[in-house]
């Protein structure tokens, strides 16, 4: 395990649940931006094309994780709307994987950046109210595989 891997694992293991969602958004945004940059190149190298597909795949994995963690019972309408957004983004991701469309990827980034900002604001508010602490044992156990996703 590299020093960077240990840092990421520690970050994930000590993060509160909302911060974990924010970290997922960060990685999806970074992956999509990389893919868009490569799509915009006139003549990408085979290595760059491979990086583009890996970045799009990573974004898809993250969207699946975000969608899979929704709690429709507790989240109600918000969870349902997030599910619709994740489903729509996943559909778009499949489309841009088949045919380069950097403009669509940039719009996807904007959607994720807006969602990330809302989660960051929620995290700040919950901390101010004392309703959000760092991860406990149960959260660490549930998030043990998250470092691999990030």
Largest CA distance in the chain: 52
Query: In this model, does residue 12 exceed pLDDT 80?
Result: no
Which pLDDT belongs to residue 114? 98
The b/e string for 67-102 (b: 16+ C-beta within 10 A; e otherwise) is: bebbeeeeeeeebeebbebbeebbebbeebbeebbb
| Residue 150 pLDDT grade (very low, low, confident, very high; cuts 50, 70, 90) | low
Instruction: Provide mean pLDDT across the span 17-42.
Output: 96
Cβ atoms of residues 56 and 93 within 8 Å: yes
């Amino acid at each position: 395990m590299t020093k960077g891997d240990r840092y990421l694992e520690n970050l994930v293991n000590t993060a509160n649940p909302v911060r974990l969602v924010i970290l997922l958004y960060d990685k999806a945004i970074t992956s999509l931006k990389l893919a868009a940059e490569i799509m915009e190149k006139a003549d990408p190298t085979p290595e760059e094309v491979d990086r583009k597909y890996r970045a799009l795949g990573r974004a898809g994995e993250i969207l699946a994780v975000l969608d899979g963690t929704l709690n429709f019972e507790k989240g109600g309408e918000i969870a349902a709307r997030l599910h619709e957004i994740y489903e729509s983004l996943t559909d778009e991701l499949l489309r841009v994987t088949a045919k380069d469309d950097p403009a669509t990827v940039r719009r996807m980034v904007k959607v994720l950046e807006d969602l990330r900002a809302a989660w960051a604001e929620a995290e700040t508010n919950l901390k101010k109210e004392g309703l959000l602490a760092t991860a406990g044992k149960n959260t660490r156990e549930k998030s043990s595989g998250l470092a691999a996703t990030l």
